[in-house]
Amino acid sequence: MDFSLNDEQKMIIETVRRFIGEELAPLEDALEQAGTLDDVTARAIHCKAKALGLYAMNMPEALGGGGLSNLDRILCEEQFGHTSDMLIRRAFGNVYEPLLHCQGSQVERWLKPSIAGTRTGAICITEPGAGSDAAGIKTNARKNDKGWLLNGSKHFISDGEWSDFFLVSAKTGEKEISMFMVDKGLAGFTLGKDQKMMGLRGTPHLELFFDNVQLDEAALLGAQGQGFKLAMGALNVVRLAQVGARSVGKATHVCELMMDWAAERKQFDTRIGDFQMVQQMLADSVIEISAARWMVYQAAWMLDQGLEAREQIAMVKVHAAETLGRVVDRAVQVFGGMGFCKELPIERYYRDARIYRIFDGTSEIHRGVIAKSALKKGAALFDIHR
Ligand SMILES: Cc1cc2nc3c(=O)[nH]c(=O)nc-3n(C[C@H](O)[C@H](O)[C@H](O)COP(=O)(O)OP(=O)(O)OC[C@H]3O[C@@H](n4cnc5c(N)ncnc54)[C@H](O)[C@@H]3O)c2cc1C
């Protein structure tokens, strides 16, 4: 068992880390204040990242992407946790894996432009009446002579405003769900309001409305009734990367600030880091982050070996997101009043962290997956010696 990183991996991490430090971190405060990123800045960071080969790193090299393995991608995603979600989206892209199921004309129309960064896509599953129960959607698509007629609505769609097309789940039968690629600007397709959130300032989260939107035949991703399954499978890796690895990166970032503060701040003529109760908060954070990190790496390694990692990723989702929650909470405590004050970013990290336990499947939903599997498989689920 070799836990070391090779030179190439170290170089990718270093390049991403430097780019975030030099190009993105200086933009964070202004983004937080304004709540939006202007087009010129977005374009500039996109072009710089692309020139360094850092755009769409998760996509195959043959299609113009970075061709990273799952493990290498996770190493980058961990670094992405060190800055704002919105800056990561614009600089490095957010090309969703389900698009790899594009075929024929779909490749030139949606997949390749996404990898090139000339088109941006959002993933649209959640509806006001269907969140955790993703199969309980009402949005539907009926076959007609021109293709498909789409009706319904979605909400909470991340990056909606910046997206040129939308990967939409819709019922195509009583118990059948398919995925469609829906271009912005189609008649009957309207963007609703930006739903303001507790955190993730700068990333828009939109309502979408479909009123008899005519889609052509090519809009269907995968086979009828299969697209949803394909998308959910592909989203496993998104969950591991954008929640698991990013949670580890975010927790690491905050923990480092917390340690520096504990080492410098004095009360009672003593560094607060010398008080045992503060030390416990630091130690628990370091232990939990380390455990979460190796869980993320192991799951990524499993994917690279072609192994089924659904349960492992469910465990990662719960543990990494909840570790992040505990670490940011401790950071506010260790920073005291300054942890709550907007003069430092700690309160922002606290707000931004809360969603990680909710999106991409809540902790409860993933615990359900793990428990069901445990009842079926017993110790074989978590004991590698069985
Ligand atoms: C900032 C943000 C960004 C998002 N981005 C996107 C996006 O880009 N695309 C997209 O499609 N969606 C997106 N979502 C939606 C997100 O995935 C859902 O909010 C999430 O899946 C939970 O669904 P819900 O909000 O409807 O909560 P509900 O499903 O109503 O859950 C409410 C509570 O009930 C619990 N619960 C529900 N079912 C069970 C059960 N079976 N067992 C135990 N407990 C249960 C939940 O765990 C939770 O605690 C986003 C949401 C937010 C807030």
Task: Say if residue 233 is in the same domain as residue 325.
Answer: yes
CATH of the domain at 258: 1.20.140.10
State yes or no: pLDDT of 106 exceeds 90.
Answer: yes
CA–centroid distance, residue 129 to ligand 1 (Å): 10
Task: For the full predicted model, state whether its pTM sits above 0.85.
Answer: yes
Please indicate, yes or no, if residue 103 is contained in any of the structural domains: no
CATH code of the domain containing 36: 1.10.540.10
pLDDT tens, residue by residue, 57-99: 999 999 999 999 999 999 999 999 999 999 999 999 999 999 9
Same domain, 151 and 81: no
Is residue 221 domain-shared with residue 241, that is, in the same domain? no
CA of 44 to the centre of ligand 1 (A): 34
Residue 227 has pLDDT above 90, yes or no: no
Atom index in ligand 1 nearest the CA of residue 360 equals: 17
What is the structure's pLDDT at 35? 94
298 found inside a domain: yes
Taking the CA of residue 364 as reference, the ligand 1 atom at the shortest distance is: 47
The pick from 124, 161, 359, 369 for probing ligand 1's pocket by mutation, whose C-beta has the most ligand atoms within 8 angstroms, reads 359
In the chain the first and final C-alpha atoms are separated, in Å, by 18
Q: Indicate whether 45 belongs to any domain.
A: yes
Q: Which residues contact 89 (CB under 8 A, 6 or more apart)?
A: 159, 162, 203
Q: Is residue 342 part of a domain?
A: yes
Give 204's contacts (C-beta < 8 A, 6+ positions apart).
158, 159, 160, 161, 162, 194
User: For the domain that residue 221 is a member of, what is the CATH number?
Assistant: 2.40.110.10
The two three-digit tokens of residue 61, written as one number: 């090299």
12 C-beta closer than 6 A to ligand 1? no
The pLDDT value given to residue 384: 87
In the chain, the number of structural domains is: 3
Distance 124 CA to ligand 1 centre (A): 13
- Of all helices (H) and strands (E), which one includes residue 153? strand 147-158
Whether residue 176 lies inside any domain: the answer is yes
Residues 249 and 202 in one domain: no
Of 320, 205, 244, 312, the closest CA to residue 73 belongs to: 244
How high is the pLDDT of residue 43?
Answer: 96
Q: Are residues 148 and 222 in the same domain?
A: yes
Q: For position 304, what pLDDT does the model report?
A: 96
- My answer on whether 259 and 208 are in the same domain is no
202 and 236 inside one domain: no
Half-sphere exposure of 143 (CA within 13 A, CB side): 7
pLDDT digits (tens, 9 = 90+) for 40-63: 999 999 999 999 999 999 999 999
Whole-number pLDDT of residue 230: 87
Note whether 246 and 374 are same-domain residues: yes
Mark whether 215 and 252 lie in a shared domain: no
Handedness of CA 53, 31, 326, 261 (dihedral sign): positive
Which residue range(s) make up the domain with 307? Answer: 229-381
Report the separation in Å between the CA atom of 357 and the middle of ligand 1, taken as the mean of its atom positions.
Answer: 9
> Which of 227, 250, 270 is at the close of a domain?
227
- 146, 177 Cβ separation under 8 angstroms: no
Where residue 233 falls among pLDDT bands split at 50, 70, 90?
confident
Q: Is the pLDDT of residue 228 over 90?
A: no
Q: Is 256 among the domain residues?
A: yes
Q: Is 123 in the pocket of ligand 1 (CB under 6 A)?
A: yes
Same domain, 57 and 155: no
Phi, psi dihedrals of residue 137, rounded to the nearest 5° = -70, 160
- Does 359 have pLDDT greater than 90? yes
Among 227, 259, 278, residue at a domain's last position: 227
Give 157 Cα–ligand 1 centroid separation in angstroms.
12
Instruction: Look at residues 242, 234, 233 and name the one whose alpha carbon lies nearest to residue 320.
Output: 242
For residue 101, is it within any domain? no
> Does 40 share its domain with 180?
no
Cβ atoms of residues 220 and 190 within 8 Å: no
Closest protein CA for atom 2 of ligand 1: 156
Q: What is the pLDDT of residue 306?
A: 95
In a domain? residue 104: no
In a shared domain, residues 354 and 247: yes
| CA R_g for the chain | 21
* pLDDT above 90 (res 205): yes
Pocket test for ligand 1, best of 362, 369, 370, 372 (most atoms within 8 A of CB): 362
Whether the CB of 126 sits within 6 Å of ligand 1: yes
**Can you tell me which residue has the tokens 């309980």?**
136
Question: Which pLDDT belongs to residue 155?
Answer: 98
158 lines ligand 1 (CB under 6 A): yes
Three-state DSSP state, 302 = helix
pLDDT of residue 134: 94
Last residue of a domain, one of 227, 262, 291: 227
Contacts of 98 (CB under 8 A, 6+ apart): 123, 167, 179, 221, 227, 230, 231, 234, 235
**Res 232 pLDDT > 90:** no
The span from the CA of 236 to the CA of 234, in Å, is: 5
